[in-house]
Every structure is written in structure tokens, then in C-alpha cells.
Structure 1
Amino acid sequence: MSGETTLFIAPDHPAFAGHFPGMPILPGVVLLDAAVHAVSQALGASASSPAICQISSAKFLSPVGPGETLSLSWTSSASGSVRFDIACGSRKIATGTLVVPLAP
């Protein structure tokens, strides 16, 4: 299974205020949280209760500034791993792998 969605972090998100003054960039944890929630919802978890998953790997390639619209693409495997890529246009932002527990 694979999918793609748009991620938008509001320019007034509180994480920008202190990270970093004068040149705000989105903290990686906020970016990963958005990716985990989007993939969890796509895989059937509810918005209020996303699937518990492990971040197996993550690599940040380019900073995200306020107001940027991002695209998240992902592909899941039968083993429960989900490979994801985040981009802003042609600029690669982040890539990684999540491990989502298989349903019993």
C-alpha cells in the first residue's frame, strides 16, 4: 500500500517562535509527528488515537520555514515498515522508515 498527502504547518505554529529567533525553522520532532499522524490515519488509525509506531530511521535533508507546503509520500510493506519521503516541491526535506505494529 502506498499514498501521498500534503502537510502544512501553520506559519504561526508555536515551535517556530523559539527555533530559531530571527531565522525560524521547523524542529524535526514536529515534522516527524506530522508524518506519523498522516501515515497512521492513512493506515486506518483514528485522528485522536494514532497507531503507536517506532521511528526506525529518519534523515533530515533540508530545513522547513514558516508557511511551506510539504508533500509526504509513503509506501508500506507486508512486514509493517513504512518508508516515507517528505519534499517541498523538488527539494527533499526528510526521509525515513516507520515500523507500525501489525494488527492481530
Structure 2
Amino acid sequence: MIDQHQAFPFNVSPLPSEATEISYEWDCPVQLPYYEGHFPGQAILPGVAVLDASLELTRRAWGRSLKLRKVISMKFSSTVRPGMKIRIHVKREAQNQWLTEWTDLATGENLAYLDFETASAAKL
């Protein structure tokens, strides 16, 4: 099992509790464990990694211990490859609902969109 906290060491200071969004620029590491076996010679970031990274950034940005409750929707427009420079934009839509957009900074192309709900770890 991959440790999300180690795989995505996002350097983010916790936001004020009333903050509703954050944009974070991330260089997708060539050696990210999620690429192992997915797929040799044509590495692409699997959907679970997009979900895990989005959740980890949300946890760090809002300084909360959150667990995934439900994926409302998830759409991929293109692939995320090793070495890409990505903008991950997270917006809080409601108390426990988050929208995440992934964009390729080199081209401006939308890569992925994720709408998910969380619950605090204490409530699970």
C-alpha cells in the first residue's frame, strides 16, 4: 500500500478555516510509486493517484484529518505523465464537498476533474 503522505509531500501551510480554494503547482515525479506497473514503457498516472493526491492536498491545505466518503464524479480529459508540471486547484463547495481540477501548466490543457465528499476521521 502506498503512503499518500510520503508520496505527495506537498509543501503547503494550512489555510484559514474560512478559505474556500487553493491552487498548487506540482512537478509530477518520475519515480512516483503509483507509476510502477502502470504501464511499463508508457507510464500514466492512475485515477487512484489523482484521487489520493487531491485528498492529500486538501488535508494539508485545510489542516484537517479527512477521509474520503464518496466520489461524486471523476473525469479525465488527458493523461498525466511522469515529469509533467501540474496545477492542482481545490475548491471547497460545501462543508465536506470539494472540486479539484488538474491542469497541464505547459499547455493549459485540462487533465482531470474530481468532485468528492469527505468526512472527518473522527466521524468514521
TM-score between both structures, scaled by the size of structure 1: 0.82
% same residue: 26
Q: CA deviation at 1:79?
A: 4.2
Distance 1:80 1:19, change over 3 A: same
Matched-pair contact (CA < 8 Å) for 1:8–1:69: yes
Residue 77 (structure 1) aligns with? 93
Q: Count residues with an aligned counterpart.
A: 100
User: What's the counterpart of residue 21 of structure 1?
Assistant: 40
Measured against aligned partners, the alpha-carbon deviations of 1:15-72 in whole angstroms (never above 9, x if no partner) come to 3231111211111111211111001211222xxxx41123221111110111112111
In 2: Cα distance, 1:17 partner to 1:2 partner:
31
1:82–1:11 CA distance, 2 compared to 1 (3 A): same
Counterpart residue identity of residue 81, structure 1: Q
CA distance in structure 1 between the partners assigned to 2:21 and 2:34 by the alignment: 29
Residue 20 of structure 1 aligns to a residue whose secondary structure is: coil
- 1:51-66 correspondence to structure 2 within 5 Å: 51-53=66-68, 54-66=70-82
**Coordinate RMSD, CA, aligned:** 2.1
Q: Secondary structure at the match of 1:101?
A: strand
8 Å Cα contact 1:7/1:34 also seen in 2: no
2:116 to 83, 98, 104: 98
Q: For the structure 1 residues 52 and 17, does the alpha-carbon distance in structure 2 shift closer, same or farther, using more than 3 Å as the test?
A: closer
Q: TM-score, normalised by structure 2?
A: 0.70
Cα distance in 1 for residues equivalent to 2:29 and 2:97: 29
Contact kept in structure 1, 2:76 and 2:112, CA below 8 Å: yes
Q: Which ranges of structure 2 fall in alignment gaps of 5 or more residues?
A: 1-19
Are 1:8 and 2:27 matched, yes or no? yes
| Structure 1 stretches lacking a partner, 5+ long | none
Q: SS of 1:63's equivalent?
A: coil
